[in-house]
Amino acid sequence: MSNPVYVPAQQPVTVIALLTIAEDQPMALAEYLGATMPLLERVGARIVRRFCLTEMVVGAGAVQSVVMVEYPSREAVDQVFGSPEYAAIRRVRDRAFLTYQISIVADQGGGSTEKPEKSGEDQPFANRFAPV
């Protein structure tokens, strides 16, 4: 990404996981979850929401699910993904998932479906979604 949004080290961080489970590898999935859930608990992270994708409207290669995980800080994210325990489970992860993409996201507001007072309609479409 060309313009990442700066997140202070001790501010809560939301991570989005885009996942497709390898249905023929239930043991790998169980092993992966058994190893990673304690890592999340150890740093104080928690799963906030889980979504199952039901229909692809536009595009190709849809993922099966989206998981939102809240970490207490950026440092906590690094502690999980940089830990020796996580490194040891990577091969199992690669068997458990067909798609496994982890991203840190920044809330840019705009959660309401009501029309805001200043909609930005005078801006090019892409600029309305640019990082602030």
CATH code, 40: 3.30.70.100
Residue 111 to residue 90: CA distance in whole angstroms: 35
| pTM value surpassing 0.85 | no
> Whole-angstrom distance between the N-terminal and C-terminal Cα of the chain?
14
For residue 118, tell me if it sits in a domain. no
pLDDT value of residue 56: 85
For residue 122, tell me if it sits in a domain. no
Per-residue pLDDT of the chain (132 residues; tens, 9 = 90+): 445 555 556 789 999 999 999 999 999 999 999 999 999 999 999 999 999 998 888 888 778 999 999 999 999 999 999 999 999 999 999 999 999 999 999 887 766 555 545 444 444 444 444 444
Instruction: Give the range of the structural domain holding residue 78, as residue numbers without chain letter.
Output: 13-108
pLDDT value of residue 4: 57
pLDDT value of residue 132: 40
For residue 6, tell me if it sits in a domain. no
Picking from 101, 86, 106, 79, the residue whose alpha carbon sits closest to that of residue 4 is 106
For residue 38, tell me if it sits in a domain. yes
Query: How far lies 107's CA from each of 4, 42, 103, 104, in Å?
Result: 13, 25, 13, 10
**Domain count for the chain:** 1
Percentage of residues of the chain with pLDDT beyond 90: 64
pLDDT value of residue 99: 95
For residue 69, tell me if it sits in a domain. yes
